[in-house]
Amino acid sequence: MSFDVMIVGIGGQGTILTSNILGKACVIEGIPVRGAETHGMAQRGGSVESQIRIGQEFGPLIAPGSADMLLSFDLMEAVRAAHWLKPEGTIYTSREFVIPTSVFMQDFPAPTEQMLREMLGDRPAKIIDSRALAEEAGNILTQNIVMLGAASPMLPLKKESLQEAIRRTVPPKTIDLNLKAFEMGIDAGKN
Amino acid sequence: MVVQYLLGNEAIAHGCLEAAVDVACGYPGTPSSEVIDTLRMDPDRACKVEWSVNEKVAFEEALAVSWCGLRAICTMKHVGLNVAADPLMTSAYTGTKGGFVIMSADDPYAHSSQNEQDSRCYAKFARIPCLDPSTLQEAHDMVRDAFALSEEFSLPVMFRPTTRICHSKSDVNLGDVVVSERTASFEKNARQYVVIPAHTRILHQKLNKKQHALKKRLVELGYNRYEVKGKKAVICGGVGASYVREVIGPDVSVAIIGAYPIDEDWLREFISHHKEVMVIEELSPVIEEVARQVSGTIPVFGKMTGHVPYEGELAPDRVAGYLKAAGFAVSVTYQPAATPAALPVRPPILCAGCMHRTAMYAMKKVFRDAIFPSDIGCYTLGIQLGTVDTTICMGASITVASGMSLAGEKRDIVCTIGDSTFLHTGIQGLINAIYNGANITVVILDNRITAMTGHQPNPTTGLTACGVATPAVSIEAICRASGATFVETVSPNDLVTFIDVLKAAKALPGVKVIIARQPCVISEKRSRVVRGRYTVYQDRCIGCKACIKFGCPAIELKGGLASITDLCSGCGVCVQICPVGAIGREVKE
């Protein structure tokens, strides 16, 4: 059995970086880990996903309906991926969402925040204003770390290992910034 | 030994370094690209690394390196192996000297490919060994050992990971990097290296004679192994074996095939202990065919009985479902998942400020009812703009265009091809089109990089794989030398001039070449080119949606009016599109 995390977002939001932090934290703790991720052209502004299986020694793929956690950097992508969760699984998602360009081009009705919140259903969900928090931490590019912080108490990994994995993963100049974003995320997740 | 969290392709690259590889060459193609990328970015690398112009070129170079007694790997994806299929078939005859590994990465479910072909079939066709890892650790260990196997049998060895090996991650045990002390020395031997009929008939016999010992050796090496546990057995291979191990019931026997050709005697012995057998593998029924040959009266379930699909990729829940349907015990029960929400899809899209969007927008303006053959690259996403009518394989846009011209199609034919793809296999099509008098317009989308697969340099970039400055190839000179008389170079960002050039091409007969040159926006961002941003003056916008229809992801519609987001890269094309002058450069207060 493994603790399976589905990380979703839009290409460029840092899903791979976030999954690398989780993977490195597993190596620090000596836990086997498997992950699968979206590469190549599919990342050009498209929906992307990283599957991380903490404590898994076999394959990298999670089955739909069986993920323990959904970590999302876009509210619309959280709704799109919610069916990967098991019924009692938890959602951590950013409040912001980007409307796909095709919606504007083809004059389709655009979903609203209210609609998306309702579509998440009655699963336990933490919806976090990660953009505001990341800005407060010093850079809007740290939204993924804010979200990771918010979700971290539910992960079967020690806070210290995650902090060390952040240090080993992000660009050296941004370590303090990212560790601050991580702490702010933990606080936001509690409320 | 050290444990690291690595991408499959990074683990494979490290395996090559542990084998003291001398030369690595390849052509980028998802999911294979990061093997060369990892090696070329390694500051301590002792081996030589190059991006070749296509897979046939990479293959033949690596083969020659092996003939000189050094260890070489050439990397490509499954469809790239089609390009290298010609030397592949004969390299099995000539054999090798230094270890020669052909990495051909397969893509079940075609995550980023034009088809789902199975490279194991090519290995069987060429009669060379094929190693097929089921985990990242195995991928690392196998590629390292493949060089020695190649030297033992003097044969090329195919190494065939799939997307879920190349692009998955895991904790991997790494060994030490070993630096090669070999020196190149080619020993002339026409009977081995000159495949005239008199020689090749003997070489073919030699190849066939190697097969028996090879099969036995692959079992000895432990790539093919089994455990007998009950009266039912599953035979599996590749990453599918990992899914089987995750879900299989405790009393079911499992055989894992990690290497081909399979020793029939060994497999017959395994099957004979059982009453029923099921084969689980992705893509072609390569294992299943051998299992059926040796199973006698024991029933074999698999693709041929309709229990496993021929297409798509496996996953733990799917494998569990196939096993249960065939009456095999599983240890995990999956609950049916909730229905996915109905939301607007978010497919990959050309970047904000990408010149391909502008070039294709202009093509559609000038050549309204034309036919638009296209090719493999980021610009294939132009399908969303209505300017991609065909895509077959690398280099096929110019040849498809000239074929349509030859057929007598009366509409304008305007084909698109990228710089890397033009150098890969596009040149021959252009020469052929001019030589045979086609009437087509060829738009070469030259962004000076191989963007789609992750920004690998190519001969237009002016840099080698390892960052050494090198003369940039002149596409203009190649086109003129091929006999083209209309060769114009223009940036699509200058929309007015670009449209004028397209109109001039439309008015002329023959092969017209337009080189649309503008660096890739991602490359520009990385080299810190800053062009500022644009903004919509809300008081002037009339909500006509002309800019929205352009399809740039930085332009949104808010309350019926256009607005520009922070994705804007400053190409300024929307300024030229807006009919009322409502878009201008953002002025910072």
Which pLDDT belongs to residue A151? Answer: 98
Q: Which residue from A39, A59, A87 is facing B167, i.e. has the nearest CB?
A: A39
Query: Could you report the per-residue pLDDT of A169-186, keeping only the tens digit for each?
Result: 999 999 999 999 999 999
Tell me which chain B residues have a C-beta less than 8 angstroms from the C-beta of A32: 170-171
Contact A45 B378 (CB under 8 A): no
Which among B169, B567, B569 is the top mutation candidate for probing chain A, defined by the most A β-carbons within 10 Å of its own β-carbon? B169
CA R_g for chain A:
16
Q: Which of B182, B201, B221 is at the close of a domain?
A: B221
B31-59: average pLDDT: 96
B317-342: average pLDDT: 94
Tell me, yes or no, whether B300 and B396 share the same domain: no
SS3 B331: coil
Residue B145's domain spans which residues? Answer: 2-221
Q: Quick one: how many helices (H) and strands (E) in chain A?
A: 8, 6
**Preceding peptide of B459 cis, ω within 30°:** no
Contact A58 B169 (CB under 8 A): no
Q: How far apart are CA B417 and CA B394, in angstroms?
A: 9
Contact B171 A77 (CB under 8 A): no
Contact B112 A40 (CB under 8 A): yes
Question: Is B351 labelled a binding residue?
Answer: no
Reported as a pLDDT band with limits 50, 70 and 90, residue A12 is: confident
Q: How far apart are CA B10 and CA B41, in angstroms?
A: 11
Contact A82 B338 (CB under 8 A): yes
Tell me, yes or no, whether B571 and B497 share the same domain: no
Q: Is residue A41 pLDDT above 80, yes or no?
A: no
Contact A119 B341 (CB under 8 A): yes
Return the number of CB contacts < 8 Å for A and B.
167
Dihedral sign (CA B356, B362, B364, B370): negative
Contact B551 A105 (CB under 8 A): yes
The count of other CB atoms within 10 Å of the CB of residue B403 is 19
What's the domain count of chain B? 4
Which pLDDT belongs to residue B25? Answer: 97
Q: How many angstroms away from the CA of B63 is the closest CA of chain A?
A: 28
Tell me, yes or no, whether B84 and B48 share the same domain: yes
Sequence-distant (≥ 6) Cβ neighbours of residue B126 within 8 angstroms:
B88, B89, B91, B92, B156
Q: Which residue from B334, B337, B453 is facing A83, i.e. has the nearest CB?
A: B337
Tell me, yes or no, whether B247 and B369 share the same domain: no
How far, CA to CA in Å, does B537 sit from each of A104, B482, B556, B570?
19, 48, 14, 16
**Residue B192 resides in a domain:** yes
Share the mean pLDDT of chain B: 96
Nearest CA in chain B to A140: B566
**Preceding peptide of B31 cis, ω within 30°:** yes
Which pLDDT belongs to residue A40? Answer: 73
Q: Is residue B33 pLDDT above 80, yes or no?
A: yes
> Do residues B528 and B567 lie in contact, with contact meaning Cβ atoms separated by under 8 Å?
no
Contact B171 A27 (CB under 8 A): yes
Q: Which of B181, B200, B221 is at the close of a domain?
A: B221
Q: Which residue from B5, B243, B340 is facing A27, i.e. has the nearest CB?
A: B5
> Do residues A29 and B159 lie in contact, with contact meaning Cβ atoms separated by under 8 Å?
no
Q: Which residue from A60, A79, A101 is facing B168, i.e. has the nearest CB?
A: A60
Which pLDDT belongs to residue A22? Answer: 98
Tell me which chain A residues have a C-beta less than 8 angstroms from the C-beta of B336: 65
Tell me, yes or no, whether B309 and B413 share the same domain: no
> Do residues A70 and A93 lie in contact, with contact meaning Cβ atoms separated by under 8 Å?
yes
Q: Classify residue A10 by its DSSP letter.
A: E
Q: Which residue from A24, A26, A39 is facing B31, i.e. has the nearest CB?
A: A39
Tell me which chain B residues have a C-beta less than 8 angstroms from the C-beta of A36: 164, 167-169
**Residue B181 resides in a domain:** yes
What percentage of chain B carries pLDDT values higher than 70?
100
pTM: 0.95
Reported as a pLDDT band with limits 50, 70 and 90, residue A107 is: confident
For B121-144, give the secondary structure using H, E and C. HHHHHHCCCEECCCCHHHHHHHHH
Q: Classify residue B270 by its DSSP letter.
A: H
Which pLDDT belongs to residue A44? Answer: 79
Q: How far apart are CA B317 and CA B472, in angstroms?
A: 50
Torsions phi, psi for B206 (to 5 deg):
-60, -40
**Residue B189 resides in a domain:** yes
Q: Which of B198, B221, B244 is at the close of a domain?
A: B221
Tell me, yes or no, whether B48 and B146 share the same domain: yes
Domains of chain A: 3-190 (3.40.920.10)
B112-129: average pLDDT: 97
Dihedral sign (CA B358, B364, B366, B371): positive
> Do residues A58 and B331 lie in contact, with contact meaning Cβ atoms separated by under 8 Å?
no
Q: Is residue B384 pLDDT above 90, yes or no?
A: no
Q: How many angstroms away from the CA of A113 is the closest CA of chain B?
A: 13
For B197-231, give the secondary structure using H, E and C. HHHHHHHHHHHHHHHHHHHHHHHHCCCEEEECCCC
A26-36: average pLDDT: 98
Torsions phi, psi for A53 (to 5 deg):
-120, 100
Residue B256: CATH number of its domain? 3.40.50.920
Query: Could you report the per-residue pLDDT of B511-540, keeping only the tens digit for each?
Result: 999 999 999 999 999 998 888 999 999 999
Which among B30, B313, B346, B388 is the top mutation candidate for probing chain A, defined by the most A β-carbons within 10 Å of its own β-carbon? B346
Residue B412: CATH number of its domain? 3.40.50.970
Query: Could you report the per-residue pLDDT of B294-317, keeping only the tens digit for each?
Result: 999 999 999 999 999 999 999 999
Q: Which position has the token pair 């939204």?
A: A143
Q: How many angstroms away from the CA of B190 is the closest CA of chain A?
A: 43
Tell me which chain B residues have a C-beta less than 8 angstroms from the C-beta of A66: 317, 334-335, 337
**Residue B231 resides in a domain:** yes
Tell me which chain A residues have a C-beta less than 8 angstroms from the C-beta of B171: 23, 26-27, 32-33
**Residue B496 resides in a domain:** yes
> Do residues B263 and B212 lie in contact, with contact meaning Cβ atoms separated by under 8 Å?
no
CA B133 from chain centre, in angstroms, equals 18
Tell me, yes or no, whether B215 and B238 share the same domain: no
Tell me which chain B residues have a C-beta less than 8 angstroms from the C-beta of A11: 348
Tell me, yes or no, whether B362 and B471 share the same domain: yes
Contact B112 A84 (CB under 8 A): no
Q: Is residue B251 pLDDT above 90, yes or no?
A: yes
Which pLDDT belongs to residue A121? Answer: 83
**Residue B207 resides in a domain:** yes
Which element (helix H / strand E) includes B104? strand B100-105
Contact A44 B335 (CB under 8 A): no
B4-30: average pLDDT: 98
B331-348: average pLDDT: 90
SS3 B88: helix
Half-sphere exposure in the Cβ direction for B163 (13 Å, CA): 24
Nearest CA in chain A to B313: A61
Nearest CA in chain B to A2: B246
Q: Is residue B435 pLDDT above 80, yes or no?
A: yes
Half-sphere exposure in the Cβ direction for B176 (13 Å, CA): 3
Tell me which chain B residues have a C-beta less than 8 angstroms from the C-beta of A58: 135, 242-243, 245-246, 316
Name which of B47, B31, B26 is nearest B106 in CA terms: B31
The full DSSP string for A125-162 is EEEE-HHHHHHHHT-GGGHHHHHHHHHGGGSSS-HHHH
Tell me which chain B residues have a C-beta less than 8 angstroms from the C-beta of A110: 344
Half-sphere exposure in the Cβ direction for A71 (13 Å, CA): 30
Contact A61 B243 (CB under 8 A): yes
Contact B384 A86 (CB under 8 A): no
Which pLDDT belongs to residue B255? Answer: 98
**Residue B577 resides in a domain:** yes
Burial of A167 (0-12, 13-18, 19+ CB in 10 A): middle
Tell me, yes or no, whether B489 and B575 share the same domain: no
Tell me, yes or no, whether B579 and B450 share the same domain: no
> Do residues B414 and B440 lie in contact, with contact meaning Cβ atoms separated by under 8 Å?
yes
Q: Which residue from A23, A42, A65 is facing B111, i.e. has the nearest CB?
A: A42
The residue type at B577:
I
Which pLDDT belongs to residue B589? Answer: 67
Question: Is B544 labelled a binding residue?
Answer: yes
B59-69: average pLDDT: 97
Q: Which residue from A32, A82, A103 is facing B341, i.e. has the nearest CB?
A: A82
**Residue B581 resides in a domain:** yes
Contact B169 A86 (CB under 8 A): no
Nearest CA in chain A to B547: A105
Q: Is residue B368 pLDDT above 70, yes or no?
A: yes
Residue B573: CATH number of its domain? 3.30.70.20
Query: Could you report the per-residue pLDDT of B488-510, keeping only the tens digit for each?
Result: 999 999 999 999 999 999 999 99
CA R_g for chain B:
27
Torsions phi, psi for B385 (to 5 deg):
-105, 0
The full DSSP string for B463-518 is B-TTS-B-PPP-HHHHHHHTT-SEEEEE-TTSHHHHHHHHHHHHTS-SEEEEEEE-
| Beta pairing partners, A70 | A6, A91
Tell me, yes or no, whether B261 and B408 share the same domain: no
Question: Is B236 labelled a binding residue?
Answer: no
Contact B556 A87 (CB under 8 A): no
Tell me, yes or no, whether B144 and B278 share the same domain: no
Q: Is residue B425 pLDDT above 90, yes or no?
A: yes
